[in-house]
Amino acid sequence: MGRYSSLKLIVGLGNPGQGYSDNRHNVGFMCVNHFAKLHNIQFSKKKGDARVAEGIINDEPVIVAKPQTFMNASGKAVNALLSRLKLNADDLIVVHDDLDLSIGRIRIRKGGSSGGHKGIQSIISDIDTADFIRIRIGIGRPDDSEDRQDHEQVIDYVLSGFSPFERAVIEKTIVRVNEALDSLLQSGLVPTMNTFNSSEKTVTDNTSGQIVEELERHRNSDVSYH
């Protein structure tokens, strides 16, 4: 693919390897996998430290990437791709998990701090700016805990899989994230933020609402799914 002035780089964050594929921390990978499949493009190439899929989506040239550096060094792969493609932070969209959003909620913004996310912090440090678009996907905190000091508990949580109830929510959220990516490519940031940040609902249909209610009931019970 040649250099296009409108080329966008969409990066999903996660850890490489089958052992991590279903982890909460890999929801960024899950989203871009679905996005690539939806648009009939494949991660058939490797550019530097990333697996990439490229094609024309909604009449826009797009490269979708999954860094293979492990989460905490994501910036190395992203910086190399931006340099190789002669892109800047305005051309970058990053999809990642967020502990501070409840399960299945999404928030879209440009710029801001890393919020403690090591992958985002790595990107900010390596490309020397925080001025890029992020799609944040809520995975909640362990046991709805507000204790941000229990670092070990948080690591165990993000590197574990979703419960069946959470998985049902996340599968619908992945579809919603793909709609947001399409909107970013077609309509730009502000209309997409207005559409996808305006609702506090995790997902839009009644079935999903029932799933969320069920999830909350089981989280408040003594039943464990991990």
Q: Detail the DSSP E strand segments found in the chain.
A: 8-12, 45-47, 50-57, 60-67, 92-98, 106-110, 133-138
- The 10 Å Cβ neighbour count of residue 10 is 24
39 labelled catalytic? no
Tokens 């964050």, residue located: 13
Terminal Cα-to-Cα distance of the chain (whole angstroms): 44
**Structural contact between residues 92 and 82, judged by C-beta atoms closer than 8 angstroms:** yes
What pairing do the DSSP bridges indicate for beta strands 45-47 and 106-110? unpaired
- The 10 Å Cβ neighbour count of residue 192 is 21
SS3 content of the chain, % helix, strand, coil (to 5): 45, 20, 35
Catalytic residue among 25, 39, 96, 218: 25
Q: What angle do CA 193, 194, 195 make, to 5 degrees?
A: 90
Residues forming the active site: 25
